[in-house]
Structure 1
Amino acid sequence: MQELITRLTENAGITPEQAVKAVETIKDFVKEKFPMMAGAVDNLFGSADS
């Protein structure tokens, strides 16, 4: 997930903390709307420490 955080900070001009929050929000949204994909979403995005 670190690559995504880096891209967000560079392309969107936001801080790493804001990028992590944005990705976490998107993860939660997708998991809420598509609960059957929760495991796949967790695997895809990993954690902020990855």
Structure 2
Amino acid sequence: MQELIQQLKDKAGINDEQAVKAIEAVKDFVKSKLPPMIADNVDKWFEGMAGSPKQNAADDFLD
């Protein structure tokens, strides 16, 4: 997840908090467009991106 946050920060010129909010918005949008049975997999996919335990507060949205 840190890699995605870093890319958002670099490419969009935003801070950690803004990057996390952007990821949350994308995740929620994708989930809203999918049937409920599939939408649950989006959360699992994002959890899998986190890999190791949280490295900083930017990963809090996964909880």
TM-score for both structures, normalised by structure 2: 0.65
Identity %: 58
- The runs of at least 4 consecutive aligned structure 1 residues that moved more than 3 Å come to none
- Contiguous gaps of at least 5 residues in structure 2: 51-58
- Structure with more relative contact order (C-alpha pairs < 8 Å, separation 6 or more): 1
- Contiguous gaps of at least 5 residues in structure 1: none
Tell me how far apart the structure 2 counterparts of residues 2 and 13 of structure 1 sit (CA, whole Å): 15
- Greater C-alpha Rg: 2
TM-score for both structures, normalised by structure 1: 0.77
